[in-house]
């Protein structure tokens, strides 16, 4: 049976988006659980599904883990009163949550989740759109997410959200630079003279069959990671929300499902950020440095595809854990510290790093 490839793409897209949304809701649960563990609490442990919760041993165990908690968490957003304050600019106020979520979900299309070796022996990436400018596309679209925040801050027509929006945009501009410069060494390495030029995320992951980039470009990895925290508005960089100063920052005026969209958007950004970091620096779906699935003899067919996706998702979840772990370790920066760190430390450092690797890669490529 021939399936229309366009229909197939739609099915893939639906699957990927629902997986991402599922990941987001469980990321919220993980966040709550991890924060409670770090703070010596128990965390959500009451919500039980009538049937599943009744299974002896397993049911109470899952309930204590809070596995069913995301369902009421989501329903809560749907059933709460949706307040539309009278003083807001209605159109942009409604647009903002959508604008902050859409880029996060759009960037998913260029992120390869694994690979599949078909009968002919070709390695096919499991990705929605295998575009050549993958990385560029990703940077371009994901930074659009900040428009949602800025628009929310501006259209709310009140002071705290406004300050939050301003901060978000300033922060985005300062860290985007360092972030872009810090990945240039990778692109230089992948696009060595004589090779076909590419910015494809899949090719970058494949280039890490030996060394992972985090191993021989640790400085790039650290700068990229710090910028990633800033870009996703996570602590210690969540200046846009900063409850202690700005009530709730850009989403102060939002309620119920519109707030829910922002909330999911933040986690979606985090999921994508983790994916990208895994692809760029942590070797994608290679189980260990210098060990690929092929060299283990498990790279073929469906098994190989499932393994690659599994390893990739495993690394991604580890990154998500790291995001949350940092959040409950570091206090929030002051705003001037954020700016100072971005402009006077990270940017010069990333440029120095770039120059260093220009020389290293030049000598490696020309063989001294």
Q: CB of 45 within 8 A of CB of 68?
A: no
Tell me the closest approach of the beta carbon of residue 43 to other proteins, in angstroms. 9
Part of the chain binding other proteins (CB under 8 A), chosen from 35-43, 101-109, 114-122, 148-156: 35-43
In the bound state with other proteins, the residue whose beta carbon lies nearer, of 37 and 362, is 37
Kindly state whether residue 209 participates in binding other proteins, applying the rule CB under 8 A.
no
Q: What is the dihedral of CA 143, 205, 355, 177, to 10 degrees?
A: 0
Question: Is 91 near other proteins (CB under 8 A)?
Answer: no
Rule CB under 8 A: choose which of 40, 56, 194, 297 binds other proteins: 40
- Minimum distance, C-beta of residue 318 to other proteins, in the bound complex (Å): 13
Residue nearer to other proteins on the CB measure, 206 or 341: 341
45 belongs to the binding site for other proteins (CB under 8 A): yes
Q: Applying CB under 8 A, which part among 11-19, 29-37, 152-160, 243-251 lies near other proteins?
A: 29-37
The token duo for 154 is: 């501006």
The residue to which tokens 């919220």 are assigned: 28
Output the smallest distance, CB 225 to other proteins, in A. 11
Helices (H) and strands (E) in the chain, counts: 15, 2
Binding mask 317-346 for other proteins (x = CB under 8 A): --------xx-xxx----------------
Question: Which CB sits closer to other proteins, 10 or 325?
Answer: 325
Joined together, the tokens standing for residue 45 give 């442990």
- Interface with other proteins includes 58 (CB under 8 A)? no
Q: For residues 9 and 41, which CB has a smaller minimum distance to other proteins in the complex?
A: 41
E strand or H helix that includes residue 326:
helix 301-327
Region binding other proteins by CB under 8 A among candidate stretches 38-46, 119-127, 149-157, 160-168: 38-46
Nearer to other proteins, 222 or 317 (CB): 222
Task: Give me the DSSP letters along 25-59.
Answer: HHHHHHHHHHHHHHTT---S-----TTGGGSTTHH
Residue 211 Rama label (left phi>0; alpha psi -120 to 50; beta) = beta
What are the start-end ranges of the E strands in 191-322? Answer: none
**Tokens 């997410």 belong to residue:** 145
Can you tell me the distance from the alpha carbon of 51 to that of 59, in angstroms, rounded to the nearest whole number? 9
Q: Which is nearer to other proteins, 27 or 105 (CB)?
A: 27
Give yes or no for a contact between 83 and 94, defined as CB atoms under 8 angstroms apart. Answer: no
Q: In the bound complex, what is the minimum distance in angstroms from residue 39's beta carbon to other proteins?
A: 8
- The label of the residue with tokens 């190989």 reads 304
Q: How far is the CB of 215 from other proteins (least distance, A)?
A: 17
Report the residue number, 326 or 356, with the smaller CB distance to other proteins.
326
41 binds other proteins (CB under 8 A): yes
38 binds other proteins (CB under 8 A): yes
Check residue 222 for interaction with other proteins (CB under 8 A).
yes
**Spatial separation of the C-alpha atoms in residues 118 and 55, rounded to whole Å:** 42
Give bridge partners of residue 125 from the DSSP assignment. 115
Instruction: Kindly tell me which of 35 and 248 has the beta carbon lying closer to other proteins.
Output: 35
Number of CB atoms found within 10 A of residue 87's CB: 9
Residues in the chain: 368
Site residues for other proteins per CB under 8 A: 34, 36-42, 45, 222, 325-326, 328-330
């Amino acid at each position: 049976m021939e399936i229309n490839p366009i229909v197939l793409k739609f099915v893939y897209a639906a699957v990927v988006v629902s997986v991402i949304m599922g990941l987001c809701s469980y990321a919220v649960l993980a966040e709550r659980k991890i924060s409670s563990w770090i703070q010596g609490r128990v965390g959500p442990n009451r919500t039980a599904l009538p049937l599943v919760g009744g299974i002896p041993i397993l049911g109470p165990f899952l309930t204590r883990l809070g596995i069913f908690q995301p369902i009421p968490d989501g329903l809560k957003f749907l059933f709460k009163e949706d307040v539309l304050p009278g003083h807001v600019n209605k159109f942009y106020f409604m647009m903002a949550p959508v604008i902050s979520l859409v880029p996060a979900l759009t960037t998913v299309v260029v992120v390869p989740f694994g690979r599949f070796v078909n009968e002919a022996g070709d390695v096919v990436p499991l990705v929605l759109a295998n575009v050549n400018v993958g990385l560029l596309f990703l940077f371009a679209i994901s930074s659009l997410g900040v428009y949602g925040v800025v628009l929310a801050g501006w259209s709310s027509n009140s002071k705290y959200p406004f300050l939050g929006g301003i901060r978000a945009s300033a922060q985005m501009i300062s860290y985007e630079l360092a972030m872009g410069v810090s990945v240039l060494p990778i692109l230089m390495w992948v696009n060595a003279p004589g090779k076909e030029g590419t910015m494809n995320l899949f090719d970058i992951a494949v280039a890490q069959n030996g060394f992972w980039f985090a191993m021989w470009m640790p400085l790039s990895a650290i700068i990229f990671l710090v910028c990633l925290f800033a870009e996703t508005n996570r602590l210690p960089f969540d200046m846009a929300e900063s409850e202690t100063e700005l009530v709730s920052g850009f989403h102060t005026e939002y309620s119920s499902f519109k707030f829910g969209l922002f909330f999911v958007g933040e986690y979606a950004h985090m999921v994508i950020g983790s994916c990208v970091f895994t692809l760029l620096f942590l070797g994608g779906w290679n189980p260990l440095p210098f060990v690929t699935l092929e060299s283990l003899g498990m790279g073929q067919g469906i098994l190989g595809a499932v393994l690659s996706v599994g390893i990739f998702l495993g690394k991604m979840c580890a990154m998500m854990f790291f995001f949350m772990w940092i959040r409950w370790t570091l206090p929030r920066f002051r705003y001037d510290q954020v700016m100072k760190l971005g402009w006077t430390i990270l940017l010069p450092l990333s440029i120095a790093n770039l120059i260093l690797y220009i020389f290293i890669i030049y000598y490696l490529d020309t063989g001294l």
